[in-house]
Each structure stands twice: as structure tokens, then as C-alpha cells.
Structure 1
Amino acid sequence: MTTDTVNSIVITELRKSYERVTGSETTYAVDGVSFDVPKGQFVTLLGPSGCGKTTTLRCVAGLERATGGRIEMGGQVVFDVPQKRFVRPEDRPIAMVPQSYGIWPHMTVLDNAAFPMRHGRNRRKGQDIRKRAMEMLEQVGLAPMADRWATQLSGGQQQRLAFARALLGDPEVLLLDEPLSNLDAKLRAKLRQELRSFQEQFGVTALYVTHDQAEALALSDTVVVMNQGHVEQIDRPEQLYDHPGSSFVADFIGSANLLPVQDVSSRGDGGVVAKTDVGPVLCLRSSAGRDQHRAGTTGGFVCVRPEDVQVRAVSPAPADDEFTATVESSEFLGDRLELVIRAADIPITVSARAGLGCRPGEDVVVRFDPATASYLAS
């Protein structure tokens, strides 16, 4: 990880613990988390509820005081346990958009937007405040509503106002805590495009929290996948999907078929042959090092995405790299056929072409393409 990028967030071995009321045992909500956010990048903390992503964000904001570790912003240390340094939230170069937007109902749209220029870290004076606020409202499409009460805005408009208000504080870092979660699915998809567009337009560094995998993949330059207070994997969205580093990441990012592995051996071409209940599977992708591919290695999973499972009729007979399965369910979804098939008592989800015509109870022949099959050591 780099630590010399100006105006980035650098988090090193961050820990946040909570003492249990019933005893002296310590529980860590965040346990040894490290990552950085380069200037101008959009980085997302992704994980299930309780994984520590929001606690991490709140520690970055200074709303929570971490138990250990170090946080830097723009090359300046804002939190460090050995140095006993803790910079207050209002003195950090940040702005935050919370899940509820934090729009003040007793103020107009203009006054909400202008608030950080009147009371924030980078204050302005006189007519410059109104001029700057109106320019920003124009950019987010809210200028015609400047004199309305904020409560007269729709959910999507309130989200835009919260974003405009945050930017008017001239932050180096924008923190976003699931700001789209209260919106319906269609509006969420529209506003996430606008959000990314605004972030790129203004060049602000963004740290975003969500449990929505599609949202994280669509918005982010980099995704930090968290689980039980730890970082599981840090990577670009395409890499996370195509090359998950663990069974947790594979299962959490999109949909995945995970077949338990009994034995693993390596091949000269870099591939891995994994023995499973449906038969040997050749995997040209792997999360394990070569030392873990020796003959006799056990454990792990074969991961195959539903769209990468190849299914055909039972004639001709299965080849060496194919096996038979029985269709349990079939759903026609217009552009594709969603199947659940079963082989060796293992259910496998398949996204097949719409004209395949498989019915429940029928047998099919299945093949996993080695180029898209992954061996995951954990």
C-alpha cells in the first residue's frame, strides 16, 4: 500500500473494540483493517450487516474513536494511538452524506445547501454564499427549487441536495453511508449514475459504504470487501467478480456455485485439477499459491458463475470433461432461462439461453469451462 499519495485516506491496522456488558471479554467490530484511497478515486466498503464497514467509516469521520491503528488524510495524521492523536470531526477535511441525508426541514433548499459555507470549516461571506450555492444547485438540477422548503423535495431530490451541501463544504474526502438505501430500485439505479458522475466532475475523493453488491460494482474504482471485522479482498470490481480470493467473496459478490473439493493437484500449464463429487474439474483460475496445489492438498471449493455453466441435451453422451445432471426447476425470464440442476446431490444454478427448453425432471449434460472455473483455497 502507498502512503505518499497527497489528499488520500490511508488506514493502517485500524481496530475498534467494544467491551461486553456481561463480562471482560472484548469484541472487535473492526480488527486490523488496512487500505488506502488514492486522490480522486471512488472506493467502496462492501459487506453484510455487522461486518464493520460503517464502524470503519465512522472512525474515518472521527465519530467513533478507534481502539488502535492509524488514519491519515491528505498526508496529515488525524488518528494515531501511540501518538495519542485524535483530530475532531469538524477539523478533518471531510464532508459526510448519511443514510437519512440529514436535511433540515425548517430550512429552504438554498439555506440547506449554503449551511457549510456559513458555519463550516471553510466559511465564506456575503453574496458569495448565495452565488456559490445557486451555482451548485444548478449543477445538481435543484436551482428552480431553491426557495422551497426542503420537506417539499422527493427522496431523490433530497439525496442530490445532501450531495450538493457536502460538496459546498469544499471537502478533500467525501464519506457516504448507504445514501441510496432509502430509495426504490429504479431511482437508486438512476441516482448512482448521477452520484458517480458528480464525484468525477468535482474530482473529490469518495469513501462509500454499502451492502448492495450491484451498487458497489457499478460505482467503484476499488472495492474493499469486509467480513466479521476483517478485510477479505481489495480489488477492482471486475477482478472481484472474475477472480474472487475466497469462497466468501465469491458467494457475496453476485451469484456463485461452490462445489466442495476433496483433493487438488497442479498441472504443468498452471491449471488445477480439483476432485469434486461431480467429478474432476479443471480450473485455470485459482486463489491459492502453487505450493498449495501439490497432489494430496485437500479442502477449498470450485467456483463457477451461473452464466459460465454450459448445459446441453443428453445426446451425444457426456465427454470426459462433462457430467450428467437432473433439472429441478426452470424459470423463463425473457432473455434467459434460470435453471437449478442437481448432480451428485449438489444443486447448481445455471443461466442458460432462453431457447434451451429444459423442463423439471429432464436430464442434461453439464460442462464447466476451465477458463472461467476457479479453485478457491478457502
Structure 2
Amino acid sequence: MIYLDNSATTKPHPDVLHSFQQVSTSFYANPSSIHPLGGEAEQLLLTAKKQAAKILRVLPEEIIFTASGTEGNNLAIKGVALEHQKRGKHIITTIIEHPSVYNTCLALEKLGFEITYIPVNQDGIVSPEMIEQAIRDDTILISVMHVNNEIGSIQPVQEIGERLRKYPKVIFHVDDVQGFGKVPLNIKESHIDLYTISAHKIHGLKGNGILYKQSRVSLFPLFHGGEQGEGFRAGTENVAGAVSMTKAMRLIKEKEKEKNRYLFQLHQLLRQELEKIEGVFINTPKNAAPHIMNFSLPGLKPEVLIHALASEEIYISTKSACSSKQSDYSRIVAACGKDDENATSALRVSLSYEQTKEEIDTFIHTMKRIITKLRGIMG
């Protein structure tokens, strides 16, 4: 089997699974309970916060464990919108955000908020200058992803953060679900106020995420109940999930340090081989994240190629797994100025640090054979 859909989800690391099972078996008490077993669970949770904070270079009290990247993005955006709406109802984002940001903004429009969607250039990159020009007196939030989940374009987050230093009342949110562990980003140096990551994109478990919330930022909670999650996320904490996520974070940062250059080389090899195939159009820019490659095959239905590859145990995808069962049309590819034919035939290959050159070679060879066969059937 060759798995090339790592941006949708990754295979959990054995050490992550072991830590989850160990904590679930031995430290299952509620960390809010006052008895000794609860105290042990609470200490484990605090340790996990400290470890996550150390990796992100922030304070432990700025870590909020969530159930997903989607929840983190919703808490960040809706939390700011509802908390600060008396000051203003204007939010700035980009046209290429993940559905958990884009659709959240669409939902807020129904509540009377005004959203400015900044366009991107042909490489899928937003202009920091355009973002700054869009700021108004009633702007309360700017949300920009670090790495695009479909085409892998890297946004100039640090430059945007530098520009926002002139606007201290504007809160800056970054969705780094696809970038963490692959494209380095310093939260403090980029002046980020809210920052989202997800465990299952880094060989952790589904159902776990983190929202970093800078100490000065006030949010309106999505959940009301107990005082868990620093008062911003009520509900009994998932201690095993928190511990296993910090394990995944540590492991992926080690891989990033050891094998990032190798991943870039694989990415380059993949691009070179795809460019040799007649009729293939590369949608991923050259200076992209090292794990995502998006390309179009006009005239061929993506789902037909995906199923043909799957029959040979090679797995790729179309776009975001959160919207891949919808229409084949890619909002992201279209936003980069590509025509409808390209936007409806886009495919995504997403790599992990465990990928091999042999797997890339096999994928290319198999895809060439399938494309030739499909084109023969079509005429």
C-alpha cells in the first residue's frame, strides 16, 4: 500500500498510541476531582500543557486543548467576534482558507458581521499590503492560514504580523494545521495572537487539537459549563488525548529537524516527474510546503483516477477531506486564476516524512499507465 493522503490524516505513531493507552488505563480519573487520583490526572494534564508550550515557545496558561483544528478555528474566530462585537464587526480573511475558517466567516455574515475576503495571486499567496489596506476602525480580527491545505502555498505570516503591530486592537489568528512540523513558524516573532494545530495531521490521534491564545486576548467561549480549558472550553478534559498530542508534537518536530530537506527533495522529484506527463498542469507553486502537491488533469474526472489508483492500493485525494465529497470544483484552484477545467480536475498528493523515493516512482509509473488506459477508453 502507498498512502499519499497525509494532509487528510496521518497514520498514528506507535509511541503516540502507546501513550494514549497508558494514560487511559492508569490515569482515567477526572482531573477536576479533588481526590488523589484526580490530582494525578491533573498533574499529567499540566505537564502536557508545559510540554506543548515549550514546543510552541509560549506560556502553559496560553494552551487550550481542543477536540480538533476545526474547533480551534471556530473558537478563535467566533470567540473574538462575539466577545468584541461592540467594538466592531469587521473581519478580514483570505479567499483560500480551510472550510473551518471560510464557512465560519460565512456563518458570521448571517449574524451581521462584515467579512473582507482578500484575493491571492496565481501562486495562491496573499499580499500583506492588501491585508493592511483592508483594515478599518471597526476591524477586530484578521485570520490567515500558514500553509494552504490544497495547494501548499505558504502565506507571509510573519510579514503580516509585523504590519499588524501598528494596529494593537486587531487580533491576529493563524491556522497552522497544515504547516506545523513541516514549515517552521515562530509564534512570538510573527506576533500571532491565536494559533491552531491538530494532532491527526502530525501522526497523532483524531479528536485532539490545540488553540494557543495569547494572554491578553479575550474570547467568548463556544461551550459553557465548568472552568476547564482556562475558562474558555468547558467540559471534562481529555487527558490521554492531551498527553498523546504533545508526544506527537515532539516527534514531528524531531522529524522536521532531521528530514525536512529529504521531504523537499521528494517533493521536487514528484514535481519533476509530474511535469513529464502530457496534459498535467501543476497547481502547487514552486516555493510551497514540502508535503503537498496539487495538479490538474483536464478531461479526466478526479474520482475516476482516484478509484483506479485505489484499486492498486495507492491512495491520493482531490481537495480538503472536509469538502472532498462535495462537488469536484476547487475553490482554491479557481482563486489562483485557473480556469474551470483545471478547478474541476484537481488532485492532491500529500507526503509524510516516512515516504520513500520508490513509492513516488511506483505512483508515477502506475498513474501514467492508468491515464493512458483512461484516455484510450475515452477515445
TM-score range, shorter chain: under 0.3
TM-score between both structures, scaled by the size of structure 1: 0.25
TM-score between both structures, scaled by the size of structure 2: 0.25
Max Rg structure: 1
Larger relative contact order (Cα-Cα within 8 Å, sequence gap ≥ 6): 2
